[in-house]
Amino acid sequence: MARVSVVVPSYNCAALLPRAVGSVLRQTMQDFELVIVDDGSTDETPDVIARYRCERRIRCVVQGNRGLPAARNAGMAVSTAPYVAFLDADDELAPDALAVLTAALDADPGAGWCVTDITRITGETRDIVRSRIPGDIFYGILEDDFIRRGMFFRRAALAAAGLYDPHVRMREDWDLNIRLIHGGVPFVYVPEPLYWYHWREGSITTGRPHRKLAYTRQVLRKHHKRLADAGDPRAAAIYAECMWDLGRRYFYETRTWQRVLACMAESLAYGIGPRRITRALRGRLTTGGRGVVEGSGP
């Protein structure tokens, strides 16, 4: 049995998939299996995957299009290793990623997953983006998805958390991060850019702002609102701030006035913060610097 299962979901990424697979095959630690999941691609992805069918360490799964979270879950379901890593088909792993992350969990038997930094690649530009761990991670993960990349897990810990929610097709990482932290699953922070994120126009992350904001609202209602309605005043204050910020994003990114007003009304129902009132009176509907709506990872 391999020590690490690397799961690579792919949807219409035929041109980029070989780069992702190559970054796995070149790992300094070679004790892994690789599972490629074709999530109903309509491009040449099946032809690309066919190149790897003779590789003994590579398994291929084909399914109808069900979204990234379901594809990740499908890959994990057929994998076998005690550690599981996830890599998007348009990204790469640093050459020593598996070795470093495996060693980190080996050294801390109580931890269930790893948090790491990323290298953000835009054309010829490379920037390191750090995960900034707050003092109070329980409320910190509600305020801002501070985790740049959480992609390496003990299989048992991820299974106990319920895997990825297939109904949250975007912001799925934030949803899982919240569940793991609120479930009390400890993590190891490895302050190295072991995940290489390639920014590209029109990707799932950068395209379709309506969907991104809609799934952000779904996560806020799933976790923040639930805690607020259960009587947690700090969660209620955070929910109010997040919904206000979401309303501003709807305004600037989509001009969907119905959503703008709905989010801001929900915000005011859960708390009238002085910062929000001051911004409104001054007409400063600015996007601000909060990462809560932007999402985990880049």
Condensed to tens digits (0 to 9), the pLDDT of residues 126-146 reads 999 999 999 999 999 999 999
* Distance, CA of 187 to CA of 247 (rounded, Å): 32
pLDDT single digits (tens) 243-285: 999 999 999 999 899 999 999 999 999 987 655 555 554 444 4
| 3-state SS record for the chain | CCCEEEEEEECCCCCCHHHHHHHHHCCCCCCEEEEEEEECCCCCHHHHHHCCCCCCCEEEEEECCCCHHHHHHHHHHHCCCCEEEECCCCCEECCCHHHHHHHHHHHCCCCCEEEEEEEEEECCEEEEECCCCCCCHHHHHHHCCCCCEEEEEEHHHHHHHCCCCCCCCCCHHHHHHHHHHHCCCCEEEEEEEEEEEECCCCCCCCCCHHHHHHHHHHHHHHHHHHHHHCCCHHHHHHHHHHHHHHHHHHHHHCCCHHHHHHHHHHHHHHCCCHHHHHHHHCCCCCCCCCCCCCCCCC
Say how many C-beta atoms besides its own lie within 10 A of residue 172's C-beta: 22
Instruction: Let me know how long the chain is.
Output: 298
The pLDDT, as a whole number, for residue 202 is 58
What percentage of residues in the chain have a pLDDT greater than 70? Answer: 89
Structure token digits, residue 118: 């990323």
The pLDDT, as a whole number, for residue 279 is 53
- Provide the residue type at 27 as one letter: Q
* Distance, CA of 132 to CA of 117 (rounded, Å): 9
Q: Is the whole model's pTM more than 0.85, yes or no?
A: yes
Q: Which residues of the chain have pLDDT under 70?
A: 202-207, 273-298
Mean pLDDT across the chain, nearest whole number?
A: 90
**Which domains are delineated in the chain?**
4-198 (3.90.550.10), 209-281 (no CATH)
Structure-token match 């709905």, residue found: 262
The pLDDT, as a whole number, for residue 292 is 43
Cα dihedral value 218, 222, 227, 233, nearest 10: 0
Given a contact cutoff of 8 angstroms between Cβ atoms, the answer to whether 113 and 154 are in contact is yes
pLDDT single digits (tens) 222-238: 999 999 999 999 999 99
